[in-house]
């Protein structure tokens, strides 16, 4: 778990939540200034909240290089050079590597959930090579969700989807009058597409979507992360036994059922009753 993201109170609450549920926790960080920072975020007894603490892990080589051994540090931050044959709770270890970590802890497979804020240096090797579950921390998600939940985005997207459906069904009419109306609708649709994109960022739009297509970042995120959120503290809104099921996304050849759209959050969109008959 990379503890560099999140506010102190929420991180402490989150970690205590795991500890009270007897969930094994470990912290892997690049920083060597762990004591002052963790004391500020978690309190003076922060080491009691983790089963394993590793500093200066040198990620991402920590996950790929098996040459660097673990070295235990004393209270003054000095390295002790005896061989590390076990990782003890309450101690702080420097560097090391994932392969030795797996041997010493036995934490293998899909029973491990690791949180990180970089999908390549933190998550890629863990999920592709070792089968760990992964959670991505994406602070930018907070502003995107705020925009998505806003009335302007909801209205614009609802009308954009509806107008697209109307165009698909009405373009068969070939009269001059019908074609004139269709051209106006096409122009309006282009304007709506630009509006939905510019709501996020006038230069490149959403971090997760380019018009109707997911971005490259979004596709890699879906491949390398089982869940993603703005902070690990978001999990405090759920019971520890809660299961996050994957959402079904219709393929191009599949009919998008309205119930699928309801599951994705369209129950909050305006004029839903009026739009429900547009198929």
* Beta strand residue intervals within 128-219, DSSP E: 133-137, 209-210, 213-214
Structural domain span for residue 179: 141-206+255-279
> Does residue 237 sit in helix, strand or coil?
helix
Element (H, E) at 27: strand 26-28
Which of residues 79, 102, 137 is at a domain's end? 137
Q: Within this chain, do residues 276 and 153 fall inside the same structural domain, yes or no?
A: yes
In a shared domain, residues 279 and 145: yes
User: pTM here?
Assistant: 0.75
Has residue 250 been placed in a domain? no
Which of 167-171, 189-193, 239-243 is the most confident on average? 189-193
The answer on 260 and 164 residing in a single domain is yes
- For residue 100 the two structure tokens come to 């030795």
Say if residue 166's pLDDT is above 50. Answer: yes
Which pLDDT score is estimated for 9? Answer: 55
Q: Out of 104, 137, 170, pick the residue that ends a domain.
A: 137
* Statement to judge: residues 131 and 151 lie in one domain: no
User: In total, how many domains does the chain have?
Assistant: 2
**159 and 121 share a domain?**
no
The answer on 61 and 122 residing in a single domain is yes
219 part of a folded domain: no
Instruction: With respect to residue 223, please indicate whether it lies within any of the assigned structural domains.
Output: no
Together in a domain, 201 and 97: no
Nearest alpha carbon to residue 56 among 17, 93, 12: 93
Please check whether residues 100 and 201 belong to one and the same domain.
Answer: no
40 and 107 fall within a common domain = yes
Q: Considering only residues 243 and 46, tell me which one the structure prediction assigns the higher pLDDT.
A: 243
Q: What is the CATH number of the domain that holds 105?
A: 3.40.50.1000
- Domain membership of residue 260 (yes or no) is yes
Burial state string for 221-253 with b = 16 or more CB within 10 A and e = fewer than 16: beebbbebbbbbbbbeeeeeeeeeeeeeeeeee
In a domain, 68, yes or no: yes
- Please check whether residue 92 lies inside any domain of the structure: yes
232 in any annotated domain: no
Are 74 and 113 in the same domain? Answer: yes
Q: How far apart are the first and last CA of the chain?
A: 46
Q: Is the peptide bond before 60 cis (omega within 30 degrees of 0)?
A: yes
Q: Among candidates 161, 149, 172, which has minimal Cα distance to 274? A: 161
How far, rounded to the nearest angstrom, does the alpha carbon of residue 4 sit from its chain's CA centroid?
A: 15
Kindly provide the residue ranges of all beta strands, DSSP E only, lying in 44-188, ordered along the sequence: 52-55, 70-73, 79-80, 92-95, 113-116, 133-137
If asked whether residues 148 and 270 sit together in one domain, one would say: yes
Instruction: Give the pLDDT of residue 29.
Output: 61
The C-alpha atoms of residue 67 and residue 158 are separated, in whole angstroms, by 55
Same domain? For 163 and 273 the reply is yes
pLDDT in tens, 71-84: 998 888 888 988 99
pLDDT in tens, 189-198: 999 999 999 9
Positive/negative CA dihedral, 52, 57, 62, 66? negative
Give the pLDDT confidence of 13-53 residue by residue, as tens digits. Answer: 555 545 444 555 656 664 555 677 778 777 788 888 788 88
Q: Which of 120, 137, 154 finishes a domain?
A: 137
Residue 233 domain-assigned (yes or no)? no
Look up residue 48 and give its two tokens. 């009691």
């Amino acid at each position: 778990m990379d503890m560099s993201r999140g506010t102190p109170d929420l991180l402490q609450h989150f970690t205590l939540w795991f500890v009270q549920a007897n969930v094994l926790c470990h912290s892997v960080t690049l920083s060597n200034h762990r004591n002052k920072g963790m004391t500020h975020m978690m309190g003076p007894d922060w080491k009691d909240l983790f089963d394993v603490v590793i500093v200066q892990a040198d990620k991402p080589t920590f996950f790929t290089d098996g040459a660097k051994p673990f070295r235990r540090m004393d209270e003054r931050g000095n390295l002790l050079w005896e061989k590390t044959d076990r990782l003890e709770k309450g101690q702080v270890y420097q560097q090391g590597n994932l392969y030795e970590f797996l041997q010493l802890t036995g934490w293998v497979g899909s029973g491990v959930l690791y949180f990180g804020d970089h999908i390549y240096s933190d998550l890629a090797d863990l999920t592709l090579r070792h089968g760990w579950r992964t959670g991505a921390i994406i602070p930018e998600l907070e502003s995107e969700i705020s925009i998505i939940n806003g009335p302007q985005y909801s209205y614009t997207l609802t009308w954009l989807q509806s107008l697209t459906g109307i165009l698909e069904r009405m373009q068969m009419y070939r009269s001059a009058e019908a074609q004139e109306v269709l051209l106006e609708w096409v122009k309006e649709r282009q304007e709506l597409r630009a509006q939905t994109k510019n709501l996020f960022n006038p230069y490149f739009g959403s971090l997760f979507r380019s018009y109707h297509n997911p971005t490259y970042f979004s596709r890699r995120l879906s491949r390398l992360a089982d869940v993603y959120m703005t902070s690990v503290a978001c999990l405090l809104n759920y019971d520890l036994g809660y299961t996050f099921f994957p959402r079904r996304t219709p393929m191009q050849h599949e009919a998008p059922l309205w119930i699928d759209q309801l599951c994705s959050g369209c129950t909050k969109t305006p004029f839903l009753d009026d739009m429900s008959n547009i198929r």
